[in-house]
Structure 1
């Protein structure tokens, strides 16, 4: 799915850099930080990501975010910007790439049915994803905020990929880490690999198996043995 060039949208990016959203200062409730991960799984994430085992690249960023990193990012965004919080949370929950974030439009969101259309790039498989109540509430609030400020456009996030990248750099992480973390957490939760493949929009299951291999959940049910 390709979007036609939109010069008007590019001009709107500067507005987002200086926009003063008074309602954002109120922040989101503490339950907003609940990323729907059980404590046992969070411990696994912390262990797996500790000591560089999460694939730290030459840029110093790991492939996955630990539970503390993810919560810190969401905490900061909750205090600073409702836009940033919605962007990060949706990207994590639905494994969005930067380009996919910029493709999201309000007509892809069905709040009454708790659904959102996820447009995939790189020949990925697009489709509907369910929305949680928390996501629905955040999007409703975000929509009202934009409308009241006169900043409502066709796009949820009228930004370029470069602008998305810059926003994430302010929080000291790379946007693609949210997509990797989504797949990793799904694998840790023992979700079927075919469902993870469908959720992330992978055409090739080999891309999905990477998360399963890193999570190590395929070894959970093998019999224990002793060498001596």
Structure 2
């Protein structure tokens, strides 16, 4: 007779939302920058995952040949049958990537002390530890950074097709949650008029 594994609790039992606010993302980056080890790598890791809405596996597999410093861009190979494409890199991302590039001979962007690419589990552990260091009120997981990207774009009022493209969603239905999470833009409803 086999014993059943206990079922995992629903996400809402762990946290009230599945995304991070921009201020929380910035706090994670600040914690990474003030850390004892791997400051540049870990701050770049958070920034790149957030800005490009990466899954842990997509981040783990990022290679230097996907980056064009001349074009200020990075090619994102999406997992889970997503739509791959080129994303622009902002100046702060380029600065961090240049520092990482000068310190590594690996074909992979994010590597551990052994020079091997960071595994999905290692990335998850780094993000979880940064969440603890940031003293957030709930346990942080790496996928919340991807959700934070979608939420942030929706909150800025970006068109749903742009959010879909940025996150590499093949199906629009996967993008709708960010529109719901972002809510109606502030100032769109006037509660004082009858």
TM tier, shorter chain?
0.7 to 0.9
Deviation at 1:57, TM superposition (A): 2.6
Is the 2:49–2:145 Cα contact (8 Å) retained in structure 1?
yes
* Pair 61,139 (structure 1): closer, same or farther in 2 beyond 3 Å: farther
SS of 2:13's partner is: coil
Is the 1:190–1:217 Cα contact (8 Å) retained in structure 2?
no
Provide the residue aligned with 1:155 in structure 2. 108
Deviations along 1:105-136, one digit per CA (max 9) or x if unpaired, are 00000011101000100110000001111111
* Pair 61,155 (structure 1): closer, same or farther in 2 beyond 3 Å: farther
Is the 1:108–1:116 Cα contact (8 Å) retained in structure 2?
yes
Alignment partners' CA distance in 2, 1:56 and 1:178: 16
Is the 1:99–1:121 Cα contact (8 Å) retained in structure 2?
yes
Is the 1:125–1:201 Cα contact (8 Å) retained in structure 2?
yes
Deviations along 1:59-93, one digit per CA (max 9) or x if unpaired, are 33731112332222111101221111111100000
Provide the residue aligned with 2:151 in structure 1. 184
The question of 1:169 aligning with 2:124 is answered: no
SS of 2:180's partner is: helix
Is the 1:187–1:217 Cα contact (8 Å) retained in structure 2?
no
Deviation at 1:141, TM superposition (A): 1.2
Alignment partners' CA distance in 2, 1:121 and 1:208: 16
* Pair 107,210 (structure 1): closer, same or farther in 2 beyond 3 Å: same
Provide the residue aligned with 2:61 in structure 1. 103
Provide the residue aligned with 1:79 in structure 2. 34
Show structure 1 runs of 5+ residues with no match.
1-54, 147-151
Provide the residue aligned with 2:89 in structure 1. 131
What TM-score, normalized to structure 2? 0.79
SS of 1:116's partner is: strand
Among 63, 67, 70, the alignment partner of 2:25 is 70
Show structure 2 runs of 5+ residues with no match.
1-9, 111-116, 132-139
Q: CA RMSD in A?
A: 2.2
Deviation at 1:219, TM superposition (A): 8.5
Alignment partners' CA distance in 2, 1:219 and 1:124: 31
Deviations along 1:192-228, one digit per CA (max 9) or x if unpaired, are 110000000001111111111111137965676866x
Provide the residue aligned with 1:194 in structure 2. 161
Greater helix content: 1
Question: How many aligned residue pairs are there?
Answer: 168
Is the 1:212–1:218 Cα contact (8 Å) retained in structure 2?
no
* Pair 91,61 (structure 1): closer, same or farther in 2 beyond 3 Å: farther
